[in-house]
Amino acid sequence: MAQSIPYKSRARIEAESICDGFVAAGASRFETDILLPAEVLLDLYGEDIRARAYVTTDPERGEMMLRPDFTVPVVQYHMESDEDPASYTYFGEVFRKQEDHPDRRSEYMQVGYEEFGGSNAAASDADVFGRFSEVLAPLGLRAATGDIGILIAMVAGLKTTEDRRVALMRHIWRPARFTALLKRFAGLTPVPPSRAALLGSDMGLPEAGVMIGLRGEREIAARIDALRADAAEAPMRDEEVELITAVLAVSETCPNALEHLRDIAVDLPGLLPALDRFEARCEAMAQRGIDVDALPFEASYGRTSMEYYDGFVFGFYCEQRPDLPPVATGGRYDALTRRLGQGREIPAVGGVIRPDLVLDLGGLS
Amino acid sequence: MTVKLGVPSKGRLMEKTFDWFGARGVTLTRTGSEREYAGAVEGVEGVDLVLLSAGEIPRELAAGRIHLGVTGNDLIQEKLVQWDQKVEPLVPLGFGQANLIVAVPQCWVDVDTLDDLDGAAAAFRARHGFRMRIATKYHRLVRDYLRRGGVADYQLVDSQGATEGTVKNLTAEAIADITSTGETLRANHLKILDEPPILESQATLFRSRLAEKSDADRTVLRALIERLGV
C-alpha cells in the first residue's frame, strides 16, 4: 500500500518519526518560517549563499530568502531564550538551487537535532554523533569525521607573522586559495609583476589619479604598508609548509589519526590543545558505545562546506550510491553563535538528516 | 512548422547580423513600419525571422521556441544553467567582441590581481562593517569567477546599466562588466584587473539543442547551414 502514498507524504512521515525519536530523548520541538530575512544570512555566508539559495523580494520587508537551512533561526531562537543548556529538534522543507546538479532536488525535507550550552564539548560532540549513528544504523552508511578546530590550531601555531596567520585562517574553508597563499608566503611562487612594481617604487598614492569610491586614501596606504612589511619578512620555512601538508593529509581511523597528529605536534606544539580535545572526544565516543577504533578521520574533511563549523564535523554517506549527497551532516559551530550573539558565545553542535534520501535508500523501518 | 531564426531586434548588433547573413546570400530584412518588429528571410525557403532583444535570445533557444539565434556567448553563459547541453555554438560572427572583466578604481594602486582584490576586501569589511560591493549584471559568471579565484568578503550588487558610474556614486567599490575598448572605464577612473578576463565574448550563431524539428525543418536547417558555410 505504501506505493499509493505520495512521495512527499512519505518523506514527511519519515521526518516526523525521526523527529519524534529526538523528542522522546529529551529535545524540544522547534519550528520557524520558510520565508526568512535575507540580510543576516547573506552577511554570514556571503555571496556563495546567493548561488545556492532562492532570494526573493517583499515590497515591505526587502530581500527575503526561502529557508536554506535551519541553523541560523534555531541559533537566534536559542539565544533569545533563557534555557541553557537546551536541545532542539525540527523538520521542514529547505530550498537549494542545484545549478551544478540539476538532477538533485531543490526542495527537500531536513530533520535536525542541535545541542546548545553543553559544558563538556567532548561529551556533546559524542552525544550528537551517537544519536545520528543510532538513527541511521539500519542504512549501513559510512561515517566521515574531521575537526576544523585542529586546522585552526595548526594555523594559529605557525611560526610566521600575525598578518600571514590571519590571511591563512580566513581561507581555511577555501583549500585552493589557502594553498596559493601558503606557497606565496613560503616564496614558492613568483611575486606578480604588478606587486613587484608597487613594492619597488617609493610610490605612495597615485600622483595624477582621481580618488573615487568609498575605499579611501588611508585604506590604500595602510594596505601598501602591510604589503611592504610582508615583503620585508623572511619567507615561511619549508618545514612549516611540510607540517601543514602533513596535517592536511592525515586520513585514517581515529586512534591512528590521533597518534599521527601527535607525532606532527612534536614540531607544531600549537596543535596540542586541539589534539587533547580530539582525544577527549574519542574517549567520550567510546564510552557512548561508538566503535571509535574503526571510525575514519580525515583532517581535511568539512573544509569546503559552510564556514562556521569550527570544531568536530561529520557526515554519513551511502557507499553504494556515490551519486547521492550525504544523508546526514553536522558539526560544532560555536563561531556562528559568536557572530550572531554580538559578543555572546554558546557552545553549539548539531546536524541534519535528509529523510528523502533515507527513503531513497529503503527507509528506517 | 518553420525554422525560426532569432536575431537582435535593434542597433549595431542587428545591422551587423544582417550584413553577416547578407554576405552569405541570405538576406534578412525588417518589414512593416520602422517600429514594428517583423522581418523576412530571402535566399532560403522555410525560415522565419524572429526579432528579439539580444538578452531574450538565450531563453528562447533554451525553451526551443527558436531553432537558431544570434547573441553573445556572455549572455548565453550567464543566463543558461549548463548552457552547453541546451545550445550549440555554430560559428562566431566576428563582431560584438567584448570581454567581461573586473575593474577597480585607478587610485587603488595596491590592487592589480584577484589576490589583491581579496586582500583589499578583507580589510574593507573589517573597516566598514560590510562586504565590499561589486556592481554587475552578470551575477552567475562573476560569482563563479571570484569563487574560483578565492575571493571572499565581497557581495554582488545588481546594476543593469551605467555600471561604471556606481563607484563614483558610492553604491559599489568595484564593478564587473563587459568592455570592448575600455574607454568608458578609463573615463570613469577605473582600471581592469591584470588577470585573464572572466569571459571573452562575441556575437555567435547558436543552434538550440531542444527545439522540436519535423523532417522538413531538418532539411531547411541543413540547407541554411550549408548556405552559411558553417
Which residues of chain B make contact with A174, given a CB cutoff of 8 A? 150, 152
Flag whether A131 is in a domain. Answer: yes
| In a shared domain, residues A138 and A188 | no
Domain boundary among A189, A205, A236: A236
- The answer to whether residue A207 neighbours chain B at the CB level (below 8 Å) is no
| In a shared domain, residues A50 and A73 | yes
Which residues of chain A make contact with B187, given a CB cutoff of 8 A? none
pLDDT at B107: 93
**Amino acid letter at B187?**
A
Is there a contact between A194 and B122 if contact means CB atoms under 8 Å apart?
no
Flag whether A69 is in a domain. Answer: yes
Q: How far is B114 from chain A (nearest CA, A)?
A: 11
Q: Tell me the mean pLDDT in the region A276-294.
A: 97
CA distances from A278 to A118, A143, A204, A299, B179 (A): 16, 17, 48, 11, 53
Q: How far is B155 from chain A (nearest CA, A)?
A: 5
Q: Tell me the mean pLDDT in the region A329-343.
A: 90
The answer to whether residues B47 and B3 touch, using CB atoms and an 8 Å cutoff, is: yes
Q: What is the pLDDT of residues A50-60, one digit of tens each?
A: 889 999 999 99
The CATH number of domain B3-96+202-228, selected from 3.40.50.300, 3.40.190.10, 2.60.120.260, 3.50.50.60: 3.40.190.10
Q: If you measure CA to CA, which chain B residue comes closest to A212?
A: B168
Count other C-beta atoms under 10 Å from residue B11's C-beta. 9
Query: In this complex, which of A102, A192, A210 lies closest to B112 when CB atoms are compared?
Result: A192
| In a shared domain, residues A19 and A147 | yes
Pick from A95, A13, A15: nearest CA to A50: A95
Pick from B221, B182, B219, B199: nearest CA to B72: B199
Is there a contact between B106 and A210 if contact means CB atoms under 8 Å apart?
yes
| In a shared domain, residues A34 and A149 | yes
Which residues of chain B make contact with A214, given a CB cutoff of 8 A? 128, 170, 173
Q: Using CB atoms and an 8 Å cut-off, which of residues 178-197 of chain A contact chain B?
A: 180, 184, 192-195
| In a shared domain, residues A21 and A146 | yes
- The answer to whether residue B122 neighbours chain A at the CB level (below 8 Å) is yes
Domain boundary among A205, A236, A267: A236
pLDDT at A306: 65
Asked if CATH classification 3.40.190.10 holds for the domain at B98-200, the reply, yes or no, is yes
- The answer to whether residue A175 neighbours chain B at the CB level (below 8 Å) is no
| In a shared domain, residues A206 and A271 | no
- The answer to whether residue A266 neighbours chain B at the CB level (below 8 Å) is no
| In a shared domain, residues A8 and A131 | yes
DSSP B131: P
The answer to whether residues B150 and B114 touch, using CB atoms and an 8 Å cutoff, is: yes
Topology alike, domains B3-96+202-228 and B98-200: yes
Q: Among A107-111, A302-306, A361-365, B94-98, which is the least confidently predicted range?
A: A302-306
Pick from B40, B31, B38, B73: nearest CA to B52: B38
| In a shared domain, residues A274 and A132 | yes
Flag whether A49 is in a domain. Answer: yes
Task: Read off the C-alpha cell for B169.
Answer: 556614486
Query: In this complex, which of B116, B150, B168 lies closest to A212 when CB atoms are compared?
Result: B168
The pLDDT confidence band at residue A15, using thresholds 50, 70 and 90, is: very high
A232: helix, strand or coil: helix
| In a shared domain, residues A185 and A250 | no
Domain boundary among A189, A219, A236: A236
Q: What percentage of chain A carries pLDDT values higher than 70?
A: 97
Which residues of chain B make contact with A50, given a CB cutoff of 8 A? 139, 143, 156
Q: Using CB atoms and an 8 Å cut-off, which of residues 160-199 of chain B contact chain A?
A: 167-168, 170, 173, 188-189, 194
Pairing of strands A348-353, A328-332: antiparallel
Is there a contact between A184 and B170 if contact means CB atoms under 8 Å apart?
no
Q: What is the pLDDT of residues B35-87, one digit of tens each?
A: 677 788 998 889 999 999 989 999 999 999 999 999 999 999 999 988 999 99
- Name residues whose C-beta falls within 8 Å of residue B219's C-beta, 6 or more positions apart in sequence: none
| In a shared domain, residues A352 and A259 | yes
**pTM recorded for the entire structure:** 0.87
Is there a contact between A170 and B152 if contact means CB atoms under 8 Å apart?
yes
| In a shared domain, residues A256 and A225 | no
Rg of chain A, C-alpha, whole Å: 23
d(CA A342, CA A323): 40
- The answer to whether residue B138 neighbours chain A at the CB level (below 8 Å) is no
d(CA B143, CA B134): 10
Query: Does residue A307 have a pLDDT over 90?
Result: no
Work out how many domains chain A is built from and give that number. Answer: 2
Q: Average pLDDT of chain A? A: 92
d(CA A50, CA A42): 7
Q: Tell me the mean pLDDT in the region A117-139.
A: 96
The pLDDT confidence band at residue A318, using thresholds 50, 70 and 90, is: very high
Which residues of chain A make contact with B168, given a CB cutoff of 8 A? 212-213
Q: Tell me the mean pLDDT in the region B8-24.
A: 93
Q: If you measure CA to CA, which chain A residue comes closest to B156?
A: A47
pLDDT at A204: 58
User: Which is higher by pLDDT, B161 or A263?
Assistant: A263
Flag whether A295 is in a domain. Answer: yes
Is there a contact between B150 and A48 if contact means CB atoms under 8 Å apart?
no
Flag whether A161 is in a domain. Answer: no
Flag whether A46 is in a domain. Answer: yes
Q: How far is A271 from chain B (nearest CA, A)?
A: 26
Which residues of chain A make contact with B62, given a CB cutoff of 8 A? none
| In a shared domain, residues A89 and A132 | yes
> For cell 542587428, what's the residue?
B14
Domain map (residue ranges) of chain B: 3-96+202-228, 98-200
Which residues of chain A make contact with B170, given a CB cutoff of 8 A? 213-214
Domain containing A109 equals 2-154+243-360
Which residues of chain A make contact with B163, given a CB cutoff of 8 A? none
Q: What percentage of chain A carries pLDDT values higher than 90?
A: 78
Select from B108, B170, B194 the residue whose CB has the most chain A CBs within 10 Å, as the one to mutate to test that interface: B108
Which residues of chain A make contact with B153, given a CB cutoff of 8 A? 46
Q: How far is B39 from chain A (nearest CA, A)?
A: 36
Q: Average pLDDT of chain B? A: 93
Q: If you measure CA to CA, which chain A residue comes closest to B106?
A: A209
The answer to whether residues A332 and A111 touch, using CB atoms and an 8 Å cutoff, is: no
Q: Using CB atoms and an 8 Å cut-off, which of residues 30-69 of chain B contact chain A?
A: none
Is there a contact between A203 and B109 if contact means CB atoms under 8 Å apart?
yes
Is there a contact between A223 and B147 if contact means CB atoms under 8 Å apart?
no
Q: How far is B102 from chain A (nearest CA, A)?
A: 15
Is there a contact between A198 and B131 if contact means CB atoms under 8 Å apart?
no
Is there a contact between A213 and B116 if contact means CB atoms under 8 Å apart?
no
Q: If you measure CA to CA, which chain B residue comes closest to A201?
A: B109
Phi/psi at A339 (nearest 5 deg)? -70, -40
Query: In this complex, which of A213, A222, A227 lies closest to B167 when CB atoms are compared?
Result: A213
Q: What is the pLDDT of residues A219-232, one digit of tens each?
A: 999 999 999 999 99
